Amino acid sequence: MKLLEDRIREEGVVKDGDVLKVDMFLNHQMDVALFREMAKEWKRLFDGEGVNKILTIEASGIGIACIAAEEFGCKVVFAKKTQGKNLDGELLTTQITSFTKGRVFDVIVAKKFLGPEDRVLIIDDFLANGCALEGLISIVRDSGATLVGCGIAVEKGFQVGGKKIRDMGVHLESLAIVDKMNADGSITFRQ
Ligand code: 5GP
């Protein structure tokens, strides 16, 4: 998606350890007008698939998932990274290794928010090694819901996640795929 690629070129910052910082418009300050265009693109890519629930993970996925949910006319559930005091009832759980924080944490969704009647689109900001998506996919499968696919804002194509998820037969659509983050700070996108 050219609009997103242009913003990454203009405002993205390449950090050590293969991390791309996009806090000017996505991860901290949020450009909701850009989110709207991204949401429209996901709607186009998953049109006719009967999506009736969007699943994401806190925190950075929530903003883009909410705008996407408006386009699809459905609700959003976000997976919580720690067990909150006000989560009652039965839980769907998994563990995820954080790429940016380098630690393992529990991820939880209340069973009452995901079930066999749901056709789920997973939305997240980044795809690196695929741990977050694998965890969310296992939660969808455990719930008995149908996984329609995954919509990602930025896939780092030089890491293994994209191949791993596509090899699982999952319909994965990334709006920008970064193939290379160069030493001079410039970025090469997959065409
Ligand atoms: P994965 O589980 O695919 O290895 O990593 C995905 C998660 O790590 C995303 O939810 C995202 O929050 C974070 N992440 C991975 N790579 C980057 C990156 O280059 N920049 C930022 N801002 N977050 C990243």
% of the chain with per-residue pLDDT over 90:
87
Q: Is the pLDDT of residue 171 over 90?
A: yes
What's the one-letter identity of residue 99? Answer: F
pLDDT in tens, 51-76: 999 999 999 999 999 999 999 999 99
Which atom of ligand 1 sits closest to the CA of residue 21? 22
Strands (E) located in 17-141 = 19-21, 53-57, 75-79, 91-97, 104-110, 119-127
pLDDT in tens, 76-123: 999 999 755 566 679 999 999 888 888 888 999 999 999 999 999 999
**pTM as predicted:** 0.96
pLDDT in tens, 145-169: 999 999 999 999 999 999 999 999 9
Tell me whether strands 53-57 and 75-79 are parallel, antiparallel or unpaired: parallel
CA of 57 to the centre of ligand 1 (A): 11
At residue 103, the pLDDT reads 86
Quick one: pLDDT band at residue 137, thresholds 50, 70, 90?
very high
For residue 39, CA distances in Å to 44, 124, 184 come to 9, 12, 31
Compute φ and ψ for 80, nearest 5 degrees.
-95, 140
Which atom of ligand 1 sits closest to the CA of residue 130? 3
Q: Ligand 1, atom 16: nearest CA belongs to which residue?
A: 128
For residue 92, CA distances in Å to 77, 105, 115, 142, 170 come to 12, 14, 11, 7, 20
Compute φ and ψ for 114, nearest 5 degrees.
-145, 125
170 pocket-lining for ligand 1 (C-beta < 6 Å): no
At residue 183, the pLDDT reads 83
At residue 101, the pLDDT reads 81
Q: Which two tokens stand for residue 127?
A: 């795809």
130 pocket-lining for ligand 1 (C-beta < 6 Å): yes
